[in-house]
């Protein structure tokens, strides 16, 4: 590993020269490239074991970029198509999502209206072969490459279906798949419009605008824009979404970087759809980048309230550049600033700790800014929610059953025994249903540790190092016994949480993403709070006007 580290250090020297005079800097670049090429050649020629040059080079590139920030990435030719799918929401395929569970490739979701949905594929089906190629011999990446392909070509699948003895063969013609940025919108809470925005790929603004218009026509008195778990995407689409609620000519975001020509202001350019309807933007700790631009802009202009948790804190902008051999690189080239002038970037990658890790922006360096109505907001730490809703983490048992695919597996069993379930929003497992699940899950093997058990293991390690373990062992044993007794009841202690997760999994079998959204509302504290505040005009205005 030391040799790889040395390679990475030499390579990273190329990016640490920005403060030297131009002529000297170009000389240093040329010198270091020479050193790097010579070292790479010598390792490949003389190293004691055979070395794969592609793997070695990728290790060096990744280590070099890792010294910068997590968002500056190298994209080799074989990953460009996946990267394009993420950024455009489009690919040639059949419209099915898969996941590896227990070494098996399982269908976890389908996009309504596309070949997989029309052709009889079901959630829970296991892929055995793709075009007669056995998947047991392939990696998940290789499987995805087989599934995707040129529009109009045919792909043959051999699947194993729960409750069906023999394998089933299906054939599909690939189509251009366009993943919707808005997987769900509808009226909830009586008269509130709800829009779930999952991505910022092309047409995100058009999709949200169309949803707002449709919801208003259905009688919506307020709009809830759900950006939870949204990692961001195209900056232009963030501007377009803000433009739905803000007048033409309003500053949305400013980009500032080391190179002046990349500095730019982005303003709204179109006539707004509605500047008066109450708006709640819902965020959580995984709302990032373009999601934070929308939430921060709406907050800076006091155009809506922000509900949920503090956001991720990504205030960096990436530029994609073409490299040789059809590879690409995404380079962080600027920081972005909301209309008040705040950058919400939470980690400072330019000043690392001695161990190489990036620390948060110190509180002493954070600045206060004023919104249009005079409310105080801060930079350097993500977007703070105006209405904070406490985060409810998944219990250890729920996380384990989700990760191991056991909740998914039970939902498949349930769906095989129930032809219909009624309306998605009204679906609820009975106590008898849940007890059947408990009886089934007890026949399965799974292990997990609660947070207290993990802390206890840490305590034992520390006590042993301090030579106190023998003295503390009786108390530790007593705590372990109590925790073991408590774990026996976890399936009932966390019944509400497990029941909600099961209901979402089951409803997805019948109504796909739309159904999962509808059944989730009844157990969603952030959405309940947003509905409550939007329905109380006095409370809504009190938050926006200090």
1 falls in which pLDDT band (50, 70, 90)? very low
| % residues pLDDT > 90 (the chain) | 79
Q: 221: exposed, middle or buried (C-beta count within 10 Å: 0-12, 13-18, 19+)?
A: middle
Rounded CA separation 12/15 (Å): 6
Buried b (16+ CB within 10 A) or exposed e, 430-442: eeeebebbeeebe
pLDDT one-digit tens code per residue, 331-368: 999 999 999 999 999 998 888 888 778 888 888 889 99
- pLDDT number for residue 301: 98
Longest dimension (CA), the chain: 77
Mean pLDDT of 297-326: 96
**Strand residues in 279-327 grouped as ranges (E):** 279-283, 305-308, 316-322
**To which H or E segment does residue 5 belong?**
helix 2-12
Lowest mean pLDDT among 80-84, 152-156, 211-215, 328-332: 80-84
pLDDT one-digit tens code per residue, 402-459: 999 999 999 999 999 999 999 999 999 999 999 999 999 999 999 988 888 889 899 9
- pLDDT number for residue 14: 43
Q: Number of helices (H) and strands (E) in the chain: give both, helices first.
A: 18, 23
Return phi, psi of residue 333, to 5°.
-120, 0
- pLDDT number for residue 21: 65
**β 222-226/279-283 pair status:** parallel
**Strand residues in 48-101 grouped as ranges (E):** 73-75, 90-93, 96-101
Catalytic residue among 125, 300, 302, 379: 300
178 falls in which pLDDT band (50, 70, 90)? very high
Mean pLDDT of 265-270: 98
| Residue 289 annotated among the catalytic residues of the structure | yes
Contact 526, 307 (CB under 8 A): yes
**Token pair listed for 206:** 């058009």
Answer yes or no: is pLDDT of 2 > 50: no
490 falls in which pLDDT band (50, 70, 90)? very high
Catalytic residue among 125, 250, 311, 314: 314
Answer yes or no: is pLDDT of 19 > 90: no
Contact 180, 203 (CB under 8 A): no
SS3 274: coil
- pLDDT number for residue 3: 41
pLDDT one-digit tens code per residue, 107-151: 999 999 999 999 999 999 999 999 999 988 887 778 888 889 999
Return phi, psi of residue 477, to 5°.
-60, -40
15 falls in which pLDDT band (50, 70, 90)? very low
**Token pair listed for 245:** 């609620």
Q: Nearest to residue 386, comparing CAs of 440, 438, 310, 451?
A: 310
Return phi, psi of residue 224, to 5°.
-105, 115
Catalytic residue among 289, 291, 311, 396: 289
Q: 495: exposed, middle or buried (C-beta count within 10 Å: 0-12, 13-18, 19+)?
A: middle
- Looking at every residue in the chain, the average pLDDT score rounds to 92
**Strand residues in 397-493 grouped as ranges (E):** none
What domains appear along the chain, each with residue ranges and CATH number?
Answer: 2-67 (no CATH), 90-178 (2.30.42.10), 184-391 (3.90.226.10), 393-546 (no CATH)
Lowest mean pLDDT among 129-133, 263-267, 311-315, 350-354: 350-354
Mean pLDDT of 152-180: 96
**Token pair listed for 180:** 């919707």
- pTM recorded for the entire structure: 0.90
């Amino acid at each position: 590993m030391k040799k790889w580290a040395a390679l990475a250090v030499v390579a990273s020297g190329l990016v640490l020269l920005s403060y030297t005079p131009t002529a000297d800097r170009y000389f240093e670049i040329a010198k270091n490239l020479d050193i790097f090429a010579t070292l790479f050649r010598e390792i490949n020629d003389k190293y004691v074991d055979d070395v794969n040059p592609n793997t070695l080079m990728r290790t060096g590139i990744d280590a070099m970029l890792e010294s910068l920030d997590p968002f500056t990435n190298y994209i080799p030719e074989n990953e460009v198509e996946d990267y394009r799918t993420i950024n455009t929401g489009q690919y040639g395929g059949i419209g099915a999502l898969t996941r590896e569970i227990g070494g098996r490739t399982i269908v976890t979701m389908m996009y309504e209206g596309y070949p997989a949905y029309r052709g009889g594929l079901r959630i829970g089906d296991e892929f055995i072969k793709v075009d007669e190629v056995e998947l047991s011999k392939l990696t998940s990446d290789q499987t995805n490459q087989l599934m995707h392909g040129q529009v109009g070509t045919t792909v043959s699948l051999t699947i194993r279906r729960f409750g069906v003895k023999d394998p089933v063969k299906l054939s599909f013609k690939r189509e251009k798949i366009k993943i919707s940025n808005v997987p769900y919108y509808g009226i909830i809470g009586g008269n509130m419009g709800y829009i779930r925005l999952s991505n910022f790929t092309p047409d995100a603004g058009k999709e949200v605008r169309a949803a707002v218009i449709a919801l208003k026509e259905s009688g919506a008195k307020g709009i809830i824009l759900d950006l939870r778990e949204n990692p961001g995407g195209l900056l232009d689409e963030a501007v377009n979404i803000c433009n739905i609620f803000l007048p033409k000519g309003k500053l949305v975001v400013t980009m500032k970087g080391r190179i002046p020509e990349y500095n730019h202001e982005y303003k709204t350019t179109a006539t707004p759809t509605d500047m008066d309807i109450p708006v709640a933007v819902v965020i959580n700790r995984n709302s990032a980048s373009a999601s934070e631009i929308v939430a921060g802009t709406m907050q800076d202009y006091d155009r809506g309230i922000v509900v949920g948790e503090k956001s991720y804190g990504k205030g960096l902008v990436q530029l994609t550049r073409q490299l040789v051999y059809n590879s690409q690189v995404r380079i962080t080239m600027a920081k972005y600033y909301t209309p008040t002038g705040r950058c919400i970037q939470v980690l400072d990658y330019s000043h690392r700790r001695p161990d190489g890790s990036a620390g948060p922006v110190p509180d002493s360096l954070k600045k206060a800014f004023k919104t249009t109505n005079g409310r105080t907001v801060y930079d350097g730490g993500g977007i703070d929610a105006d209405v904070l809703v406490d985060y409810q983490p998944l219990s250890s048992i729920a996380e384990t059953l989700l990760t191991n695919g056991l909740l998914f597996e039970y939902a498949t069993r349930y769906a095989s025994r129930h032809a219909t379930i009624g309306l998605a929003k009204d679906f609820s497992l009975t106590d008898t249903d849940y007890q059947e699940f408990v009886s089934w899950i007890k026949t399965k093997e799974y292990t997990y540790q609660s947070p207290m058990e993990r802390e206890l293991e840490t305590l034992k390690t520390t006590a042993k190092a301090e030579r106190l373990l023998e003295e503390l062992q009786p108390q530790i044993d007593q705590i372990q016994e109590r925790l073991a007794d408590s774990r026996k009841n976890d399936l009932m202690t966390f019944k509400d949480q497990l029941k909600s997760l099961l209901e979402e999994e089951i409803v997805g079998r019948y109504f796909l993403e739309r159904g999962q959204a509808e059944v989730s509302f009844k157990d969603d504290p952030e959405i309940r709070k947003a509905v409550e505040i939007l329905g109380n005009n006095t409370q809504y205005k009190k938050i926006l006007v200090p």
